[in-house]
Amino acid sequence: MSPVNQLSNVINAFKQWRAARKNVTHKTPEALQQQIVKLLSHYSRGTLSNALGLSGTQVKRWQAGASDAPAFVELPVLDEIPSALRLELRLPNGAELSLSGSLSPSIVGEVIRAAST
Q: Is the pLDDT of residue 107 over 60?
A: yes
- In sequence order, which residues have a C-beta less than 8 Å from that of residue 38 and are 6 or more positions away? 6
Instruction: Return the domain boundaries, the chain.
Output: 3-68, 70-117
The residue among 63, 64, 85, 60 whose CA lies nearest residue 75 is 85
pTM of the model: 0.53
| pLDDT value for 112 | 72
d(CA 48, CA 45): 5
Higher pLDDT, 19 or 74: 19
Q: Is the pLDDT of residue 6 over 70?
A: yes
C-alpha torsion sign, points 28, 16, 54, 22: negative
d(CA 49, CA 7): 11
At 79, the amino acid letter reads D
What angle is formed at CA 3 by the lines to CA 35 and CA 18, rounded to 5 degrees?
40
Q: Which helix (H) or strand (E) holds 28?
A: none
Q: Kindly report, residue by residue over 55-95, the tens digit of the pLDDT.
A: 888 888 888 876 555 556 676 676 665 667 777 877 776 77
